[in-house]
Structure 1
């Protein structure tokens, strides 16, 4: 072999060696969802985004869910918790879950892709905990609808996680608040949804649609005199220095939803799927109990800040609900098709 041929051959062999070495170091791909357990069996690692701060009820529940899953699957599945929307806005994270870029989320259901999912927060869809469990719990019409619609986004619904019933937060005293037919003489912010715009007007408020990000400044500057669309928990944590009254009217039901990418789920072993579903069912059952027990907690906390919580009897809340169902629902139910008729049927409403 000539000197030139030997040099070419050596260069070729060195190049091959480098390629083999780099391939071995890379592990043959960019899969970041699995790691070795040290016993020859791969461990799946899923990321779970949620939108509440550290040490809140949601955060504690998410961490317990992850611990129980890891124990039940004997370490084959590990779930890493990212609180306080660390992985991003819940709407964007839901889209990432759809594409398999993030595995899981516990948050409000995103409606950017499918606006019909706004049906979950229609005012007075439910007005008490019994109705909430009936419609949002497993087998309920809302649960079934959300599950079906999320399937179209390549997402599986594992559990519903109730948060609270909505209330009205005000910086100005409302006129005759116990009367659903009164003119309240207060200008409130409403979410940019037809359902809440009609709801606010129907109950005698002057309404201004605004995104949530503008509420604080609008209250501070007097552009609005109150807001609806959240619960007393939110108002206590975000706006309590700007308000004077809360109307705990159970305006709507707020829940978060535990979801997972469908493709990732399908790759999970059957026995591990069964374990996760059992733990998710336990999470949902516990969350309903905890949310109901905490129903009055933030009313009491916000009162300690000097904000008056206006008292309503069950009959007065039902009067508000009946008014909205009778006068507002006909203006919005066409957005939701047959689903809304199923809801009315389940509630026994003609």
Structure 2
């Protein structure tokens, strides 16, 4: 079976580890399980801990789905990466072995190139502009643009903005010169740090604390709650709120499972997802404020630099997309009323 899947879907089962993960899940989880009473259980997996705003929002989505469906549908959630990495979960959705997941928009770039828009720095002016785009036809069209690769977006969860945290103050791009900055495994992220004068160093998240502690890298970039909850502030006492990118989390359902639902079931699920998104945004805003206050209480120096200085440095990245679909999308985002 794995070899057939691999032939049909080029993004699936790219390593022995993924094949083993897939086989294990196939024998333990069905994506959409009919119950004896005629109800259905949708299985959802993701990598966040149980107390994360995303997981709490998913629990609320389950409650709402049960209410809307009169108890005929519910969601069973597997948190903490129990069923594999984000890439693993996307592949399981594609073949119908898992119903739903949440992933950062960044890994979706390799499935749908348009998602690269979120990795390009300073596309969005601020948080309000970012959500204006997500809730516009542009954002809604992007959610369904992944259907050709058997993934359908149900909505976006807030993951805040990404900023630099380092072992020395970053007030201007010049302060990044010569610094080794950890980034995700993203070509766009690497280019951004290079444009700003730093040396981009992709490192796994699980290894980052030690890398910061031992001086393998001089800093990293992420949202405020992640910086706080990871305790990276213990080895990186400066947070510069340059807010270079806004990368949302995307709530997805596999197209095989979505197409197996009736129109009424699809409507219930979409409404439950929409309600969970509104709830998650509230939780995220609260968690961000709490995390920032906790960081300041621990003596972390929080810097608010002139973002225009950073934006000017990366404008060549914007111009590189002129006369391309991504460039057209960027222009449309800038022209939102």
What is the TM-score normalised by the length of structure 2?
0.81
How do 1:190-201 residues align onto structure 2 when only pairs under 5 Å count?
A: 190-201=183-194
CA distance in 1, matches of 2:167, 2:283: 30
Q: For residue 310 of structure 2, what is the aligned residue in structure 1?
A: 320
Select the residue among 101, 125, 133 that pairs with 1:105. Answer: 101
Secondary structure of the equivalent of 1:236?
helix
1:278 matched residue in structure 2: 271
Larger Rg: 1
Structure 1 segment 153-164 matched on structure 2, within 5 A: 153-164=149-160
The aligned residue for residue 82 of structure 2 is 86
Question: Residue 186 of structure 1 aligns with which residue?
Answer: 179
The correspondence for 2:123, drawn from 122, 125, 134, is 125
By how many angstroms is 1:79 displaced? 0.7
Give the structure 1 partner of residue 212 of structure 2.
219
- Structure 1: tracts of 5 or more residues without a match: 1-29
Contact 1:72–1:275 at 8 Å: present in 2 too? yes
Separation (CA, whole Å) in 2 of partners of 1:56 and 1:211: 20
Instruction: Tell me if structure 2 keeps the 8 A contact 1:53–1:59.
Output: yes
Note the C-alpha offset of 1:183. Answer: 5.4
In structure 1, the residue matched to 2:329 is 342
Residues 63-74 of structure 1 aligned to structure 2 (within 5 Å): 63-74=59-70
Cα displacement (A) at 1:106: 2.1
Distance in 1, matches of 2:309 and 2:300, equals 24
Question: Which residue matches 1:76?
Answer: 72
Alpha-carbon distance in structure 1 between the residues aligned to 2:288 and 2:317: 26
- Helix, strand or coil: the match of 1:249? strand
Given that 2:212 and 2:218 are in contact with CA atoms closer than 8 Å, whether structure 1 keeps it comes out as yes
CA spacing shift, 1:207–1:270, aligned 2, 3 Å: closer
Q: Secondary structure of 1:321's partner? A: helix
1:284 to 1:337, Cα distance in 2 relative to 1, 3 A: farther
Aligned to 1:147: 144
CA contact (8 A) 1:127 1:321 kept: no
1:143 Cα shift?
A: 4.2
How much has 1:340 moved relative to structure 2? Answer: 3.0
Over 3 Å counting, the alpha-carbon distance change for 1:330 and 1:194 in structure 2 is farther
- What's 1:36 paired with? 36
For 2:253 and 2:302, how far apart are their aligned partners in 1? 39
**Alignment check: 8 A CA contact 2:157 2:249 kept:** yes
Contact 1:127-1:251 at 8 Å conserved across structures = no
Could you list the structure 1 runs, at least 4 aligned residues long, displaced by more than 6 angstroms after superposition.
none
The answer for unaligned runs of 5 or more in structure 2 is 1-29
Q: Distance in 2 between matches of 1:71 and 1:233?
A: 31
Structure 2 equivalent of residue 4 of structure 1:
none
Go from structure 1 to structure 2 and tell me whether the alpha carbon gap of 1:202 and 1:162 turns closer, same or farther (over 3 Å shift).
same
- Is the partner of 1:276 in helix, strand or coil? helix
Q: Deviations over 1:241-284 (max 9, x none)?
A: 21110111112113111111222222222222212222222223
SS of corresponding position for 1:80: strand
Whether the 8 Å CA contact 2:57–2:277 is kept in 1: the answer is no
1:272, 1:32 → 2: CA distance? 12
Query: 8 Å contact 1:122–1:195 — kept in the other structure?
Result: yes
Q: Whole-Å Cα distance in 1 between the matches of residues 94 and 160 of structure 2?
A: 27
Structure 1 Cα separation of the partners of residues 185 and 300 of structure 2: 26
Q: Note if contact 1:137-1:160 (Cα within 8 Å) is conserved in structure 2.
A: no
